[in-house]
């Protein structure tokens, strides 16, 4: 048994990426660049078993995600199984693929909450960023149905250089849709987004303006709308506490059953991931080598090792440390104490002042991965 095991608590939340299939092709998609093929996806029975194992392990909240989870024909059955297992179920969706009939069926199956993504506040912006003509109009229709059925709703506005000016309107739209919460998420540069940094990187001025708008709106809308905010971290002085700390509060299941400490963990090449097809979820959480690789603080190097914030942000994001410094155990270069911080800020400024190039859109599973134009 690992020496850290006695102090490891059960996870609170599990993100189930039911499929990597998606009608949209957002250029910042959080799915890995190498998408899981449809034929490798867990079956209905396998997912239902995973949900039961998760509840048994102590998971309270299940986030059903993708790709687009509505691309799974068995979504209603999966929701019912999750509810039967005692999990609080949240559907993370673009809305595309959800009809009124399906939403009613999901309500009957016990779905607790919907998180609807917003690629822009106008049809022009949303359809261009999502790479799906007519998507905005359909999403607005789905939002109406969600309100009429009475699902608690969170709007998830993903922001970047191209659409950050739409933040005030996104906040208004959340109110108009009756959302109780909005997640204002500045694009995090992993996977697909890394290919689009020249086009999507916010400027320092935009990052500061977003901070201002969020601070003002939090005061103005207190008691009406909760605002979760993921700032533009390349422009920050300290990193985010990614995943609440590696192997601390949550886990992700990829469509093929691989169990990941975070959605981008596969970008850390030396890690080995267990799958629910071969090992019980409980063993993977407590004993799996990937989960124990960066759990707690024992793995840290300086400056994190002796830093007073070591258990505040756990050294930031391991995947970002890997992508930007080549060492997943390094201090996240977003941190002002990282030796790579100055270089990161210079890179962020260069990306932000780039005139931008054609967006590299996410492809479908099994299709070749495009590269940015030189």
* Sites of contact with ligand SF4 (CB under 6 A): 238-239, 303-304, 307, 309-310, 313, 315-316, 331-332, 335, 337
Q: Per the annotation, does 317 bind a ligand?
A: no
Nearest CA to 180 out of 138, 222, 243 is that of 222
**Smallest distance from ligand FES to CB 91, Å:** 22
Q: Which does 347 bind (CB under 5 to 8 A by kind): ligand FES, ligand SF4, none?
A: none
- Tokens encoding 79: 């929701």
Judged by CB, which is closer to ligand FES: 14, or 262? 262
Q: Per the annotation, does 262 bind a ligand?
A: no
**Smallest distance from ligand SF4 to CB 94, Å:** 33
Footprint of ligand FES on 275-334 (CB under 6 A) = 317-319
Nearest CA to 177 out of 96, 127, 114, 89 is that of 114
Q: Please tell me the distance from the alpha carbon of residue 141 to that of residue 147, in angstroms, as a whole number.
A: 10
Judged by CB, which is closer to ligand FES: 47, or 291? 291
Kindly provide the residue ranges of all beta strands, DSSP E only, lying in the chain, ordered along the sequence.
Answer: 13-17, 61-65, 88-93, 113-118, 153-159, 181-186, 226-230, 250-253, 259-260
Asked if residue 265 binds ligand FES (CB under 6 A), the reply is yes
Judged by CB, which is closer to ligand FES: 203, or 236? 236
Footprint of ligand FES on 116-175 (CB under 6 A) = none
Footprint of ligand FES on 214-243 (CB under 6 A) = 242-243
Q: Please tell me the distance from the alpha carbon of residue 34 to that of residue 254, in angstroms, as a whole number.
A: 12
**Smallest distance from ligand FES to CB 214, Å:** 21
Q: Which does 317 bind (CB under 5 to 8 A by kind): ligand SF4, ligand FES, none?
A: ligand FES
Chain centre to alpha carbon of residue 192: 13
**Smallest distance from ligand SF4 to CB 304, Å:** 3
**Smallest distance from ligand FES to CB 215, Å:** 25
């Amino acid at each position: 048994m690992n020496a850290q095991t006695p102090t490891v608590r059960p996870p609170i939340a599990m993100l189930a990426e039911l499929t990597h299939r998606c009608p949209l092709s957002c250029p910042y998609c959080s799915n890995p660049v190498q998408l899981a093929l449809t034929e490798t996806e867990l079956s209905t029975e396998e997912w239902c078993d995973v949900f039961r194992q998760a509840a048994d392990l102590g998971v309270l909240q299940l986030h059903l995600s993708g790709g687009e989870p509505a691309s799974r024909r068995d979504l209603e059955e999966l929701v019912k199984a999750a509810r039967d297992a005692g999990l609080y179920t949240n559907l993370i969706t673009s809305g595309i693929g959800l009809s009124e009939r399906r939403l009613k069926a999901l309500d009957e199956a016990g779905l607790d909450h919907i998180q609807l993504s917003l690629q822009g506040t106008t049809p022009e912006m949303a359809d261009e960023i999502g790479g799906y003509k007519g998507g905005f109009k359909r999403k607005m229709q789905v939002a109406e149905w969600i309100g009429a059925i009475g699902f608690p709703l969170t709007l998830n506005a993903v922001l970047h250089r191209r659409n950050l000016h739409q933040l005030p309107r996104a906040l208004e739209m959340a109110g108009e849709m009756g959302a109780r919460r909005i997640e204002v998420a500045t694009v995090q540069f992993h996977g697909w987004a890394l290919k689009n940094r020249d086009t999507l990187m916010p400027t320092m001025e935009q990052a500061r303006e977003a901070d201002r708008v969020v601070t003002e709106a939090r005061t103005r809308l207190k008691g009406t709308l909760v605002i979760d905010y993921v700032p533009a971290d390349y422009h920050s002085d300290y990193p985010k506490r990614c995943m609440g700390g590696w192997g601390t509060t949550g886990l992700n299941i990829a469509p093929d059953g691989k169990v990941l400490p975070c959605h981008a963990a596969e970008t850390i090449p030396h890690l080995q991931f267990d799958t629910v097809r071969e090992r019980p979820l409980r063993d993977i959480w407590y004993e799996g080598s990937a989960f124990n690789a960066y759990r707690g603080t024992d793995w840290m190097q300086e400056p994190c090792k002796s830093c007073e914030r070591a258990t505040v942000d756990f050294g930031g994001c391991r995947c970002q440390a890997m992508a930007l410094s080549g060492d997943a155990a390094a201090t996240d270069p977003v941190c002002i104490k990282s030796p790579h911080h100055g270089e990161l800020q210079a890179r962020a400024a260069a990306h932000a002042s780039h005139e931008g190039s054609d967006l590299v859109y996410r492809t479908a599973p099994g299709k070749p991965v495009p590269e940015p134009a030189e």
